[in-house]
Structure 1
Amino acid sequence: MAAARKLQMYALSPTGKHSASVIFLHGSGDTGQGLRAWVQDVAVPDLAFNHIRVIYPTAPARPYTPMRGSLSTVWFDRYKISRDCQEHLESIDTMCTTLRSVIQDEVNAGIPKHRIVIGGFSMGGAMALHLVCRYHPDIAGVFALSSFLNKDSVAFQAVEERFRAGLPLPELFQCHGTSDDLVLHQWGEDTSVLLKKAGMNTTFHSLPGLHHQLSQPEMEMLRSWILKRLPPTTSS
């Protein structure tokens, strides 16, 4: 496997003592700073916390097959944008290795993994699901906004194997707009159903009228969910 590359980061520091962290992955073609600006534009109150550091990494530019090989800031490659095709596991696993360093940086800063939440928008949500379900199931939770996994994703198998072994699994929070492409919304809902069937505790919210985008109601629900997973400590 290729050596992990250092990612560009945009981070929002807590206003008080840092005791938990959120890693929020952008969608295809975006950047961490772009996602942060989008969140700031739609989230009232802002997705900022007294005790939680929110980290927005940027994916390195790579050739992206659905764009005929043009460079794009994507977390992994796809053979095509379809729920039914094979996953591009080589690029997914390489990025899981790269993102492991982001998690480790937080651990090195004194944040235990059970005080870390990872999630993302669109492709970022799919990347978060691979990262958490297959490699870091000991974190506090995972969220996926307007996201889906391929029908035969290896992430489903990883969750099922862990569940059958009696090992704990993180909670999943999902949102998807009903005015997004109807096929994408169904794929997102199917992902939630399949992960729940495999043994994961999942919550799926359909948001009426929402396209493939972030929204204030969605950010309010996400903020509340994050605070439930990462409440302030007595020293925060």
Structure 2
Amino acid sequence: MSRLGALHLTKPTGPKHTATVIFFHGSGDTGGNMKEWVNIMARNFTFPHIKVMFPTAPLQPYTPNGGAMSNVWFDRANISIDAPEKLDSISKIEVEVKDLIQGENKLGIPSNRIIIGGFSMGGSLSFHAAYRWDRNIAGAFVFSSFLNNGSVVYQELKNASSSTLPPLLQCHGDNDDVVPMEWGKTTYNELKTLGAPIQFHVLERLGHQINKRGLNLIRDFIEKHLPDV
């Protein structure tokens, strides 16, 4: 049985579903809120041939919140780039993410017609999904996200061929007081050094939130890597 909460969908506006985007929310949020937020900012985040999925993270104890229950993709020792990763918690959500991808595969959508992305913790999850769990996906995007120093993602990429890595779009506000842009830039530099085909966009005067410009960059990225066929 899935540990995930409610799944919210935006259906293709055209007659055929040939690709899928999986959009992960930030810590303490829900898929429904993420869908609403994105659609308000983007004035309807829809595509003629693409289904957009907004899953909800499992309700579980979250250490940075004093151990209180929260909808989070995995637990953290602390919200800090220097904190060690809780790999046992990350490995549990790996099963759920793979199930989402395989569910689309069973519907006839191959991994190379799927893009994964997310905001904040959802973006951190997307780094793991794209560069550890299914490198056959069409691409990934992250918004206001980071990887911990010494992340297992970096360790696994040391033995990977750059030709096998999906493209990744990274956006970050330069006024972010929750996830400092320096953390995002450090993550970008590490991944770039390891051969990841990644691009970094600074969003001026933006705090820890999504905005229209960032979503337009994401939309362009999706349309480029998931063209209508």
Query: Does residue 1:170 correspond to 2:166, yes or no?
Result: yes
Are the equivalent residues in 2 in contact too, given 1:4–1:94 (CA < 8 A)?
A: no
Query: Does residue 1:30 correspond to 2:29, yes or no?
Result: yes
- The residue identity in structure 1 corresponding to 2:177 is D
- Using the alignment, how far apart are the partners of 1:4 and 1:131 within structure 2? 17
- Using the alignment, how far apart are the partners of 1:62 and 1:177 within structure 2? 28
Q: CA deviation at 1:181?
A: 2.1
- The residue identity in structure 2 corresponding to 1:81 is I
Q: Which residue of 1 aligns with 2:184?
A: 188
Q: Which residue of 2 aligns with 1:115?
A: 113
- Using the alignment, how far apart are the partners of 2:79 and 2:86 within structure 1? 11
CA shift digits 1:178-218 (9 cap, x unpaired) = 11128621000111111111110010000100110010011
Structure 2: gaps (5+ residues): none
Q: Which residue of 2 aligns with 1:229?
A: 225
Give the percent of matched residue pairs that are identical in Structure 1 and Structure 2: 45
CA shift digits 1:10-47 (9 cap, x unpaired) = 01110120000000000000000000000011113x21
> In 2 relative to 1, CA 6–27 (structure 1 residues): closer, same or farther, beyond 3 Å?
closer
Q: 1:97-112 to 2 correspondence within 5 Å?
A: 97-112=95-110
Q: Secondary structure at the match of 1:148?
A: coil
Q: Secondary structure at the match of 1:83?
A: coil
- The residue identity in structure 2 corresponding to 1:129 is F
- Using the alignment, how far apart are the partners of 2:146 and 2:113 within structure 1? 25
Q: Which residue among 58, 70, 78 is the counterpart of 2:56?
A: 58
- Using the alignment, how far apart are the partners of 1:82 and 1:15 within structure 2? 40
- Using the alignment, how far apart are the partners of 1:21 and 1:122 within structure 2? 21
Q: Which residue of 2 aligns with 1:43?
A: 42
Q: Which residue of 1 aligns with 2:137?
A: 139
Q: CA deviation at 1:107?
A: 0.5
- Using the alignment, how far apart are the partners of 2:155 and 2:129 within structure 1? 14
Q: Secondary structure at the match of 1:161?
A: coil
Q: Secondary structure at the match of 1:80?
A: coil
Q: Which residue of 2 aligns with 1:130?
A: 128
Structure 1: gaps (5+ residues): none
Are the equivalent residues in 2 in contact too, given 1:157–1:198 (CA < 8 A)?
A: no
Are the equivalent residues in 1 in contact too, given 2:4–2:57 (CA < 8 A)?
A: no
Q: CA deviation at 1:158?
A: 1.7
- Using the alignment, how far apart are the partners of 1:73 and 1:4 within structure 2? 14
Q: CA deviation at 1:5?
A: 2.7
TM-score (norm 2): 0.96
- Using the alignment, how far apart are the partners of 2:94 and 2:112 within structure 1? 18
Q: Which residue of 1 aligns with 2:157?
A: 159
- The residue identity in structure 2 corresponding to 1:145 is F
CA shift digits 1:54-78 (9 cap, x unpaired) = 0000001100000110000000000
Q: Which residue of 2 aligns with 1:70?
A: 68
Are the equivalent residues in 1 in contact too, given 2:18–2:49 (CA < 8 A)?
A: yes
Q: Secondary structure at the match of 1:199?
A: coil
Paired residue total: 228
> In 2 relative to 1, CA 38–183 (structure 1 residues): closer, same or farther, beyond 3 Å?
closer
Are the equivalent residues in 2 in contact too, given 1:118–1:143 (CA < 8 A)?
A: yes
- Using the alignment, how far apart are the partners of 1:112 and 1:40 within structure 2? 26
Q: CA deviation at 1:128?
A: 1.0
Q: CA deviation at 1:222?
A: 0.6
Q: Secondary structure at the match of 2:149?
A: coil
- Using the alignment, how far apart are the partners of 1:127 and 1:6 within structure 2? 14
